[in-house]
Amino acid sequence: MTNSKVDSAHPYIPNTVPEVRDAMLKQIGAESVEELFSAIPDELIYKKEMAIPEALAEFDLSKHLERTLNKNTSTKDVISFLGGGCWEHFVPAVCDEVNSRAEFLTAYAGDEYEDHGRFQVLFEYQSLVAELVDMDVVNVPTFDWAQAAATSIRMASRITGRKEALVPKTISPDRLKIIKNYCSPDIQLTFVDYDEATGKMDLADLQRKLSADVAAVYFENPSYLGFIETACKEINELAKQHAAITIVGVDPSSLGIMEPPSRYGADIVCGELQPLGIHMNYGGGLSGFIATRDEVKFVEEFPSRLFGVAPTSVEGEYGFGDVLYERTSMAQREKGKESVGTQTSMWAITAGVYLALMGPNGMKELGTTIMQKSQYAVQQLDKIEGITASHFKGINFKEFVVDFNGTGKTVKEVNEKLREKGIFGGIDLSEEFPELGQAALYCVTEVHSKADIDQLVEALQSL
Amino acid sequence: MKGIIRNQKVRNFHQAKWDEPIIFELHQEGERGVIPPHAEQDITESVGDGVSVLPEALQRKADPKLPEISQNRVLRHYLRLSQETLGAAFNVEIGQGTCTMKYSPKINEVYAASPKVTALHPKQDDATVQGMLEVIHNLDLYMREISGMDYFSFQPGSGTQSLFAMASIVRAYHEANGEADQRDEIITTIFSHPSQAATAAVKGYKIITLYPDEDGFPDIDKLKAAVSERTAGFVVANPEDTGIYNAKIKEFTKIVHDAGGICYYDQANANGLLGITRAKEAGFDMCFFNLHKTFSTPHACGGPAAGALGVTDQLKPFLPGPIVEKDGDTYTLNDDLEHSIGKVRSYHGVPQNILRAYAWIRALGAKGLKQVAETAVLNNNYLYHEILKIKGAGAPYIKGKRLEQVRYSWEKLYQDTGVTTEDISRRMADFGHQYWTSHHPFVVPQPFTLEPTESYSKTDLDEYIASLTHIANEAYTDPEKVKSAPYNSSIHAVVDQSPFEDPNKWAVTWRAYLKKTKASN
């Protein structure tokens, strides 16, 4: 079914009404619409009709989209244990209400006087995340954790004038790809090895690799593989001995119960906002933040927009604007700090709403629940013959490596069987970390019930 | 009853003014906004409190100082602030030139909010996301038609990230040919987006910027002088922010190709070109479209957005992975690209925007897409024609028709009255309009950039023109009125800019504000 009216006036294009179009052409002294394109040489004019299906009217479009999307199986249709950088969490209804408001959804880059509300909510988001990480400066967020980490490393390189960064070998391979491409060609990334038993950073290797060329030591807490890095102070002290900057990537859902990295010496903290009230969206829900102390040497190196508060000409009003706008590529083109443009402001607003709803108690309860449920899952899975959970001996947050080497089955085979039972098993690590053999990264958050975990255990037992 | 007379030429507007506190000021100890899921009793009995296993040093000692607020009050706060935000759905959104502010259809929001999109995990097995992969693949096919390119990746999360991906591909291409060290320059133009130069610089390139000739075209002689065995690439928009189409573009791309460089086309905004002219025929090796501009996905206060990055077959092996491929009736993800730059954004970019753009194209079809371009250009030329009649307004460079936007100038008005384009920007807020000056540096003096898109009717355009006319008249009769604006906005003018420049005053967070104002309070 096609919309036979499309040839005259399309619902999205008011001036397709022929009479209006003719009147406008007449007003500007043009004979035809084609005349408006006379600047384009004839050899460059596309003379065919594009092979794109005919227009669908709204009802037909909705049927088509529904049919197409119904081919997807969502994590709501099954029990999913997938995480690894994008996680299933509880999303309060107010978060969706606010981020679907047309006022916010369709706004863009207006000034303070048209978009005062947008400036205030982004300032508030910065302020709320600042409390979580206990630092005084937070940016309008970038694309994702990976970009935030990459920019943090570039900031450290500019501050120190050095061209090497140390990263843990346990970093997410996808995240590493992004950081690597973003830092090349001028910043070299060097792996720091990990302890085979615990996954934690090998401090002797760190010491070997630190030098006067190292701009930054980057590590994550919790790590991609779920374990908690406990030698944070020692890592920071070693970095400082070589005047390198300590950058820590965090999952903010841990910060109601875990010390923020600023308390163990981190100079730059970055991480992912998606756990804070944002749906996964097949990865489209990611958003990366960067936080620092309020020191000129850090603030002037941010490429991002930083909204600051200021008085207006009327007492009692809060006004807002860009702090150190001259830093940015919008002001200085290639002489600005990296580049800035459209990133993920709507997710910043959403994360702000989430933190305002949760408050300190909500964040503490969230962290506690994740710890309890993931520990329960490890405890139960470990009872299954041939399976070791968790592979790394230590404490985990939210995620853990399940070792299937003793089962004689590949993770791929296990996951296929689980899928038949309505379960998405953990991320297959056999290609990402071949040294672990057949192992998978399982994720348990506050959304998983005891029954969900028990069902997983039962399904694995029956394989 | 006597009829109600409504003959005002400009809108009698006042923006919402809620005088809302900063959210921390709403704190009331003990209030709760939401209660997250807790562990069941059985779990607690099995594992205990879950937290004391953490080493003492890593247990959070002081709770984060987040406010405690009831749910209703949080919602009211954000809804009030939403009302103080002039989204495109509310105004004749033609003032944010270069941003292609168009109607974002509501039907697309319905499906973008479906759990069949929002609750997908990016590492799900391909077999469980066939609907989403089908959408990505089909959008790729449509983009190929629109551009003439051979393959698209939708991984970039914005125009800037698309430009960065393209600069990365340029480098990887020359690396593969062993020429990366020698080819260390990228050429761009001053009327192109700042991110073109900025992203190429991040990839280590020296930037050569071409300025316009007297008609506003990038200077071809300067290009000839700029290319050499050091040229890695050439990036340009066409038309640029001026709306002037460079008819010699094919000569430009040939000059760069002859020197061994890659040509990449910034089509962030291609709104005047759909079905009219394509990147391929103009000689480009790569192009990108912003799905949040030409393809209607909402701008979301500044993202998440999405870039569609198209390349010729020659450059396909360099794309960020994975890419979607079709094998019979099955869609798969292919991450095996020989020279891939790796990744620029996690996973598959912003799939909810890929869906929205797909839906928008399906609602228009090939004919509708061409109508978009034709109407956007008609609207722009109508606006241009009428704005040149306003006292004090002008548009430098070549006379004659422009494509989808124009960079105008209030230089005459400024010389006559002292009123600046920034003053006019604040005054436009009083009539419910967005208004944008231009990117820096201001090559055109006292600039403003308008782009009416296809979404606005003649009546809408007339309203915007009437507001500008009204303000220009004010500038000539009562300049102080314009300079002291706004009057009907949510707030008044921030006059003292030092809190944005002075380290002792700037406050990027509420806690920093409290520290820095402590002495005075």
Mark yes or no for CB contact B33/A318 under 8 Å.
no
Q: What is the DSSP letter of A17?
A: S
**B378 to chain A: which residues are within 8 Å by CB?**
15, 21, 24-25, 33, 36
Buried b (16+ CB within 10 A) or exposed e, A116-147: bbbbbbbbbbbbbbbbbbbbbbbbbbbbbbbb
A106 contacts on B by Cβ (under 8 Å): 87-90, 93, 104, 298-299
- The tokens describing B27, both together, are 């704190």
- The residues, ordered by sequence, that sit 6+ positions from B385 with a Cβ below 8 Å of its Cβ are A27, A28, A29
CA gap A63, B343 in Å, rounded: 34
Residues of B in contact with A47 (CB under 8 A): none
* CB-CB under 8 Å, B122 with A181: no
User: In angstroms, rounded to a whole number, what is the distance separating the alpha carbons of residues B507 and A235?
Assistant: 31
Interface test with B, best of A342, A390, A450 (most B CBs within 10 A): A342
CB atoms within 10 A of CB B305: 32
Give chain A positions within 8 Å (CB) of B49. Answer: 368, 372
Chain A: closest CA distance from residue B37 (Å): 6
How far from each other are the two terminal CA atoms of chain B, in whole angstroms? 56
CB-CB neighbours of B481 under 10 Å: 16
User: Within 10 A of A214 (CB to CB), how many other CB atoms are there?
Assistant: 24
**B439 contacts in A (CB within 8 Å)?**
330
Looking at chain A, the whole-number percentage of residues with pLDDT higher than 90 is 98
Q: Which chain A positions have a beta carbon within 8 Å of B381's beta carbon?
A: 28, 30, 36
| A309 inside 8 A of chain B by CB | yes
Tell me what pLDDT residue A5 has: 45
Yes or no: say if B430 and B13 are a contact pair by the CB < 8 Å rule.
Answer: yes
3-state DSSP assignment of residue A321: strand
Tokens, residue A231 = 């030698």
A85, two tokens: 């950088």
Cross-strand bridge partners of residue B290: B307
Q: With beta carbons under 8 A apart, name residues in chain A contacting B42.
A: 450
Please state whether beta strands A245-250 and A214-221 pair in parallel, antiparallel, or not at all (unpaired): parallel
Within 8 A of B66 by CB-CB distance, chain A residues are 128, 131-132, 355-356, 358-360, 363
Beta strands A439-443; A427-428: pairing state: antiparallel
A15 near B CB under 8 A:
yes
As a whole number of angstroms, the distance between CA A106 and CA A104 comes to: 6
**Mean pLDDT on B166-191:** 97
Say whether pLDDT at B477 is over 50.
yes
CB contact under 8 A, A283 and B33: no
ipTM of the complex: 0.98
CATH architecture of A93-354: 3-Layer(aba) Sandwich (3.40)
Which residue intervals of A172-290 are DSSP H helices? 173-183, 203-209, 232-241
Distance (Å) from the alpha carbon of A323 to chain B's nearest alpha carbon: 4
| Mean pLDDT estimate for chain B | 97
pLDDT tens per residue, range A294-312? 999 999 999 999 999 999 9
Question: Would you call B54 and A105 a contact, using CB atoms and an 8 Å cutoff?
Answer: no
Contact present, A178 and A150 (Cβ < 8 Å): yes
Of B362, B415, B403, B393, residue with least CA distance to B469 = B393
Question: Do A143 and B491 lie within an 8 Å CB cutoff?
Answer: no
| Residue A420 touches partner B, C-beta closer than 8 Å | no
Distance from CA of B89 to the nearest CA of A (A): 6
Q: Is A323 on the interface with B (CB under 8 A)?
A: yes
> Which fold, A79-89+361-461?
Aspartate Aminotransferase, domain 1 (3.90.1150)
Q: What is the CATH number that goes with domain B110-363?
A: 3.40.640.10
**B429 and A114 Cβ atoms separated by less than 8 Å:** yes
Are B323 and A258 in contact by the 8 Å Cβ rule? The answer is no
Amino acid at B70: S
Question: Is the Cβ–Cβ distance between A91 and A279 less than 8 Å?
Answer: yes
Q: Given an 8 Å threshold on Cβ–Cβ distance, is B198 in contact with A333?
A: yes
Cβ–Cβ gap A127/B509 under 8 Å: yes
Q: What is the mean pLDDT of residues B10-25?
A: 97
- Spatial separation of the C-alpha atoms in residues B23 and A127, rounded to whole Å: 9
Contact B121 A75 (CB under 8 A): yes
Are A61 and B363 an interchain contact pair (Cβ–Cβ within 8 Å)?
yes
Q: Do B509 and A138 touch (CB under 8 A)?
A: yes
Predicted pLDDT of residue A195:
97
The 8-class DSSP code of residue A225 comes to T
Per residue in B49-71, pLDDT (tens digit) is: 999 999 999 999 999 999 999 99
Quick one: which H or E segment has residue B366? helix B351-387
Give helix A116-133 / helix B71-83 axis angle, nearest 10°: 140
Specify whether the CB–CB gap between B244 and B395 falls below 8 A.
no
**In this complex, is the C-beta atom of A463 within 8 Å of any C-beta atom belonging to chain B?**
no
Give pLDDT, residue B521. Answer: 62
How do the residues of chain B divide into helix, strand and coil, expressed in percent and rounded to 5?
Answer: 40, 10, 50
Q: Where are the domains of chain A?
A: 4-69, 79-89+361-461, 93-354
Q: Divide the 463 residues of chain A into consecutive groups of 10 and give the mean pLDDT of each group.
A: 56 95 96 96 96 97 98 98 98 98 97 97 98 98 98 98 98 98 97 97 98 98 98 98 98 98 98 98 98 98 98 97 95 94 97 98 98 98 96 96 97 98 98 97 98 98 93
Look at residue B519 and tell me whether its pLDDT is greater than 90.
no
**How close A212 gets to chain B, by Cα (Å)?**
22
CA nearest to A127 within chain B: B509
A73 interfacial to chain B (CB closer than 8 Å): yes
pLDDT at A7: 55
Check whether B349 has a pLDDT greater than 80. yes
Q: Given this model, what pLDDT does residue B520 score?
A: 75
The whole-angstrom separation of Cα A333 and Cα A335 is 5
Q: Would the pLDDT of B124 be above 80?
A: yes
For residue A322, the distance in angstroms to the closest alpha carbon of chain B comes to 6
First to last CA, chain A: 48
Cβ-based burial of A101 (10 A; exposed 0-12, middle 13-18, buried ≥19): buried
Q: Give pLDDT, residue B410.
A: 98
What's the confidence (pLDDT) of residue B323? 96
Q: Is B277 helix (H, G, I), strand (E, B) or coil?
A: strand
Question: pLDDT tens across B411-454, in order?
Answer: 999 999 999 999 999 999 999 999 999 999 999 999 999 999 99
Centre a 10 Å sphere on the Cβ of residue B316 and count the other Cβ atoms it contains: 18
DSSP B383-420: HHHHHTTSTT-B--S--S--SS-EEEE-HHHHHHH---
For residue B321, what are the β-bridge partners? Answer: none
Where are the domains positioned within chain B? 110-363
Q: Tokens 């050429």, residue? A: B187
Measured between beta carbons, the chain B residues lying within 8 angstroms of A16 are: 371, 375
Q: At what angle do helices A116-133 and B510-517 cross, to 10 degrees?
A: 90
**pLDDT value of position B8:** 87
Contact flag B36-A365 (C-beta cutoff 8 Å): yes
Residue A433 contacts B, CB cutoff 8 Å: no
**Of B468, B451, B458, which is closest to residue B96 (Cα–Cα)?**
B451
**C-alpha span between A161 and A214 (Å, rounded):** 9
Task: Give φ, ψ of A375 to 5 degrees.
Answer: -65, -40
